[in-house]
Amino acid sequence: MALAEAGARGRLLRWPRVLLFGDSITEYSFQENGWGAYLAERLVRKCDVVNRGISGYNTRWAKLILPRLITESTGADSIAAVTIFFGANDSALKELNPKQHVPLEEYAANLKGMVQYLKSVDITADKIILITPPPLQESAWEKACLAKGDKLNRCNATTGQYAQACVRVAKECGTDVLDLWSLMQKNQDFSSYLSDGLHLSAKGNSFVAAQLWSRLENKLSALPSLLPYWRDVDHTNPEASLL
């Protein structure tokens, strides 16, 4: 059978998508043993896990980008889940990092606006997971800042205020939320979850992967594996199995 004929006979194969939208903690999640890579491995042949992490970005910039990533005409119906993971940059101290800083109330409004936009393109609240920034280990992050010639430009207490705002938005919007800031600090020495005081270590990636999977598994467990197991393909008439 010619390829064109096979294509005409068969239905277009469209993998559902899990969209990871966030800052550097999302961008780096596809590195070795990263939390995004873990999700991609767990969902292979069920979903495409799409990394749209953009290092250094905050919610002020993210809300402008989101409508360029997902529209009704570009397959919002194929979205199985979306994570929105911002706050580590928004919570930077205004006087020391004005470019990335976003005021707390604006941060909350931006998150709410992104959730409302997703709902407007028919992505329901049960498919959306907000993720708070992780806690900040100040002494380690100060070393990273000093190495770049900067002063300590974040503090954990402020990051916590943004995390609490994220939790509130999720409750108001009816979405799920992963409160990393609180969960990680249940471990007294939460610094082991962080590589430089801000970004995730291998242990932190494992923690995020496990926590996020516990929320995604129920949402995605009903998705079928795409295409039959190879032993189930009729080798004498593969068209019957594959088209």
pLDDT higher than 90, residue 83: yes
Superfamily of domain 17-228 in the CATH hierarchy: SGNH hydrolase (3.40.50.1110)
Compute the mean pLDDT over every residue in the chain, rounded to the nearest whole number: 92
CA torsion sign for 200, 205, 206, 211 is: positive
* pLDDT confidence of residue 14: 84
pLDDT category at 228 given cuts 50, 70, 90 is: confident
Please write the tens of the pLDDT for every residue from 129-184. Answer: 999 999 999 999 999 989 999 998 999 999 999 999 999 999 999 999 999 999 99
Residues 6+ apart with CB under 8 A from 86: 22, 23, 57, 58, 59, 62, 107, 110, 111, 133
pLDDT higher than 90, residue 48: yes
Q: Which has more confidence, 8 or 229?
A: 229
Average pLDDT over residues 42-71: 95
Query: Which residues pair with residue 79 across a beta bridge?
Result: 17
Average pLDDT over residues 10-19: 85
pLDDT category at 219 given cuts 50, 70, 90 is: confident
pLDDT higher than 90, residue 36: yes
* pLDDT confidence of residue 156: 95
pLDDT higher than 80, residue 6: no
Residue at 68: amino acid letter: R
* 91 C-beta neighbours (distance < 10 Å), count: 28
pLDDT category at 72 given cuts 50, 70, 90 is: confident
Positions marked active-site = 24, 196, 199
pLDDT higher than 70, residue 3: no
Q: Which two tokens stand for residue 143?
A: 């070393």
pTM of this prediction exceeds 0.85 = yes
